[in-house]
Every structure is written in C-alpha cells, then in structure tokens.
Amino acid sequence: MGEKAYFVCVPTSAGTGSEVTPFAVITDEQTGVKYPLADYELMPDMAIVDADVQMMAPPGLTSASGIDAVSHALEAYASMMATDYTDGLAIRALQTIFEFLPQCYDAAVAKKAAPKAREKMANAATMAGMAFANAFLGVMHSMAHKLGAFHHIPHGIANALMMEQVLRFNAVAVPRKMGTFPQYDHPHTLERYCEIATALGISGKDKNEQFENLIKAIRELQARIGIKPTIKDYVPDEADFLARLDDMVEQAFDDQCTGANPRYPLMREIKEMYLNAYYGKRETV
C-alpha cells in the first residue's frame, strides 16, 4: 500500500494517538463488536495534528479522549518496553494534560474555543501516542477493551474506571508473578509512578504517600472533567455485570496489551480488579 498511496491521518480528538501508532479499533455498528487491529501497515506516513479540527469537541468527547491519553502515558511509562525516548514523551504528555485538560473541558461545556489549551492537548495526545507506539500498553487497556466492548462504555472512560486499580496492582513490591520480559531485577513500578508524581509536582513524606497523592490527583482530575468514579455508575445492572464477568476476565487476560504490563496478572486478580472498580473499593489486589 505504501507504494500506491500516502497514508495521512488527521486526528479529530485529543486523543487516541492513532495518528502516530500502528493500532486501530473498528466497531461493527450492527453487532456492536469492536475489532482491535495491530499492524505496521496501519502506521500513518504523515500525521497532521491541527487543533482547529478539535476546537469544538463536546465535553464528553473531550474528557473521554483526554483521559485516554493519560492512560497511554501512564501505561507506556510503567511498561516493560519503556525507554528513555518513550519516558520523555510520556512525562511531557502527562504534565501538559494535567495543566490543560480541565481548561479544554470547561471550554467544551461553555461551547467556547480555547485555542491554546486545545493545541496543548492535541500535542500531548500525540506525544502519548508516540510513547505507547514504542513502549506499548498494559493491563489497564486489556481490561478497558473488554469493559468497553461488553458494556458499551467509551474507551477512555473504561480506562479511567480501571486506572486506580491497575496503578495499585502494578505498584505492589512483591507480585505473585513477574511480567513476561522484565528488564529489571526487582519490581520497580512504585518508583516509576513516583517519578511521574515528582514530574507533576506531587510530593509525599515517603514513596507510598507520594503514590497515594498521585492517585488522589488522578481521581480529582477525573472528577473535574465529569468522569464518574465507579463502573457501577455506568453499568447499574449489577446482575448482568456479574453474570458476564468471567467471560470478560478471560478475554482481558488474553488481550495483546497484557504482555507489556510490569506485573503479570492472574485471571482471579483481573476479576478482583474488575469487582473493586465496580464497587469503588480502594483495596490493592
């Protein structure tokens, strides 16, 4: 295809980062089934990142796609494939999003343009995309993919709902199982999250407190842009959620994003994270 056509992508939200990644998701509107695609043929030859086309994005799209970019940067930074190159992009993306996403959301609610904030968010989403195109993602996306597909929750919101659980899960000092290809001799994801916290100006008297303050800041950002705290808020039919939970767990375990996660999840751990996220429990799995 590269010889016959030049593949140009123009993102209309900030964002998925698809304009700079070999990943795409297509939804069959008749069946509701989502097909995640991963192939370097999907890697655009050129990305045109123009905040003009994102300027009047509605509040729901602004917050869902903005928090998706947060999840990309968090997962790329914690990934076992992370490098100095992806770290720089992920950190700068997070700093930018924490500063400018609330402004974009407010402008969207007021139906007003916010040229500077929208441009910053457009850049941040693409930087986060460059980070995860190279470092890949983790189990937050594995679980979000299935949560979104089973219960028709927007992708970014599904990530937001799993975010705290996965951060707590990854930050554990003694996991039951290490990740598949660890490049380190002991789990260090708590330290990695603390590096993110430091870059965001979030401190604490020790690493655990700094990590808790990072989680608090993420929760506050989500609430600030109108995202509700639990899966139950989006899936009130508890019986239906529980009835299909095991299928969702199995599919999440098999998702291609699981492989880069710093801690290898067992199926029962994925199930516990889903349940904690459903009921809003803050426990660590």
Task: Please give the residue ranges that form the binding site for Fe ion (CB under 5 A).
Answer: 68
In terms of CB distance, is 114 or 153 closer to Fe ion?
Answer: 153
In terms of CB distance, is 114 or 162 closer to Fe ion?
Answer: 162
The distance of closest approach from Cβ of residue 274 to Fe ion in the complex, given in angstroms and rounded to an integer, is: 18
Task: Measure Cα distances from 36 to 105, 192, 203, 207 in Å.
Answer: 28, 28, 37, 36
Find out whether 62 and 108 touch, Cβ atoms under 8 Å. yes
Residue number, nearest CB to Fe ion: 68
The distance of closest approach from Cβ of residue 137 to Fe ion in the complex, given in angstroms and rounded to an integer, is: 7
In terms of CB distance, is 68 or 119 closer to Fe ion?
Answer: 68
Find out whether 80 and 183 touch, Cβ atoms under 8 Å. yes
| Burial (Cβ within 10 Å: 0-12, 13-18, ≥19) of residue 266 | middle
Report helix angle 155-170 to 189-199, nearest 10: 120
Handedness of CA 273, 277, 279, 282 (dihedral sign): positive
- Strand, helix or coil at 154? coil
The distance of closest approach from Cβ of residue 16 to Fe ion in the complex, given in angstroms and rounded to an integer, is: 6
Beta strand pairing call for 8-9 and 46-47:
parallel
The distance of closest approach from Cβ of residue 145 to Fe ion in the complex, given in angstroms and rounded to an integer, is: 9
The distance of closest approach from Cβ of residue 28 to Fe ion in the complex, given in angstroms and rounded to an integer, is: 19
The distance of closest approach from Cβ of residue 1 to Fe ion in the complex, given in angstroms and rounded to an integer, is: 24
In terms of CB distance, is 162 or 194 closer to Fe ion?
Answer: 162
The position carrying tokens 């994270």 is: 273
Report residue 110 CA to chain centroid gap: 26
The distance of closest approach from Cβ of residue 17 to Fe ion in the complex, given in angstroms and rounded to an integer, is: 7
Rounded-to-integer distance, Cα 72 and Cα 132, Å: 6
Report residue 258: phi and psi, to 5°: -60, -35
Find out whether 263 and 187 touch, Cβ atoms under 8 Å. yes
The distance of closest approach from Cβ of residue 116 to Fe ion in the complex, given in angstroms and rounded to an integer, is: 25
Rounded-to-integer distance, Cα 251 and Cα 255, Å: 6
CA angle 38, 39, 42 (to 5 degrees): 100
